[in-house]
Structure 1
Amino acid sequence: MGTGAGCRPPARPGSAPAPQVWHGIGRRSRLPGVRSFEAATRIDAGPADVWALLIGVGQWRDWDSGVDRVDGRVTLGEPLTIYATMIRSRPFTVTVTEIRPREAMRWRGGLPLGVATIERTYSLDAQDDGGTVLTVREDHSGPLAGLLGRTTPDLNPSFRQFCAGLKARAEGKVSRPAT
């Protein structure tokens, strides 16, 4: 797959500049019963700066018009409740399952007993020139993942918006995008 299909952008020194935002389409992965969404962007800021914005979930609404608010703190094993503008009537709660400062954060949620699991990963890839590639990916899996597919809208536009907002904030270009 090329960069337009959701793969990470090239990070080779001397290569031509890549587009600023890459994204995949909502699709089934190679694994049966898994639906994935993904977006990525290159940010002209170091991983430490991007990480600080990423874990500051209480301020996401300042730069991502797709988020009304997030309750909770990024702490391993702790819950976060996200109030997204696209599904205001259904806030969702996830548990922070992985924290690797300046590298990755992972959340997990879904239905009881693992019959449908939602796992979202935010990955930061430090670039040789001091920039960072941010990738946001969400996988829906489990025996009832198809049920989630019927009730979950296409998340790719929201992920692209999130990446663009974080990029603009990290690069000092925005306070809050217009809604």
Structure 2
Amino acid sequence: MKLKFSSSVEIDAPPEKVWALVNELEQWPQWIPSIKKIEKLSEGALGEGSQIRVTAKSIITVRLLMTITEFVPGRHAVMQGKVLGTRMTRYYAFEPVNGGTRLTAGGEVSGLLAFLVRRGGQALSNEIVQAAKRKIEGEHG
């Protein structure tokens, strides 16, 4: 069984600006408290096939090795990996709306501890979209 999670927010900025912030993965720990470290493990520009290692802390600290499986600049990115014995897919979508952007962070998990991992995935998705909104709107607010 796959368990889904998702969080969205409207940000008063064009999709290109929101994408530019989210696309700088190695900077995430500076504006998302639960993300402790992100390392790009692949050579070259970030894109389909790139591998990243994410260290995040909620209830416990977890390290995820994720592979980007879809990458459409300014529109969406999808990555897959495993954590705590579960298979996880995470996605980020950028949709133009009302002169700004709807940023959605979400995903799905399956496996033995999927219920637990889904809770962490939901909490992190909520934190990412709200932190992006604060960071971008705070720059010109």
TM-score (norm 1): 0.68
Which residue pairs with 2:25 in the alignment? Answer: 57
> Residues 28-76 of structure 1: CA distance to partner in whole angstroms, max 9, x if unpaired?
xxxxx11011111010011000000111001111111110110006322
Q: Is residue 3–residue 118 contact of structure 2 (8 Å, CA) maintained in 1?
A: no
Which residue pairs with 1:104 in the alignment? Answer: 76
> Residues 114-170 of structure 1: CA distance to partner in whole angstroms, max 9, x if unpaired?
x9531111001111x3200011111113xxx2x132552613222111111011111
- What is the CA–CA distance in structure 2 between the aligned matches of 1:133 and 1:102, rounded to whole Å? 12
Greater relative contact order, per chain length (Cα 8 Å cut-off, separation 6+): 2
- What is the CA–CA distance in structure 2 between the aligned matches of 1:161 and 1:71, rounded to whole Å? 20
Structure 1 segments (4+ residues) deviating >6 Å: none
> Residues 9-44 of structure 1: CA distance to partner in whole angstroms, max 9, x if unpaired?
xxxxxxxxxxxxxxxxxxxxxxxx110111110100
Aligned residues with identical type, % of pairs: 25
Greater strand content: 2
Q: Unaligned 5+ residue runs, structure 1?
A: 1-32, 174-179
Q: Based on CA coordinates, which of the two structures has the bigger radius of gyration?
A: 1
> Residues 75-127 of structure 1: CA distance to partner in whole angstroms, max 9, x if unpaired?
22011100102232x3110101111111101001128xxx9531111001111
TM-score (norm 2): 0.85
- What is the CA–CA distance in structure 2 between the aligned matches of 1:150 and 1:161, rounded to whole Å? 19
Q: Is residue 110–residue 117 contact of structure 1 (8 Å, CA) maintained in 2?
A: yes
Q: Is residue 57–residue 74 contact of structure 1 (8 Å, CA) maintained in 2?
A: no
- What is the CA–CA distance in structure 2 between the aligned matches of 1:168 and 1:161, rounded to whole Å? 10
- What is the CA–CA distance in structure 2 between the aligned matches of 1:91 and 1:38, rounded to whole Å? 21
Q: Unaligned 5+ residue runs, structure 2?
A: none
From 129, 133, 146, the equivalent of 2:102 is 133
- What is the CA–CA distance in structure 2 between the aligned matches of 1:150 and 1:158, rounded to whole Å? 15
Instruction: Say if 1:56 and 1:75 are closer, same or farther in 2 by CA, change over 3 A.
Output: same
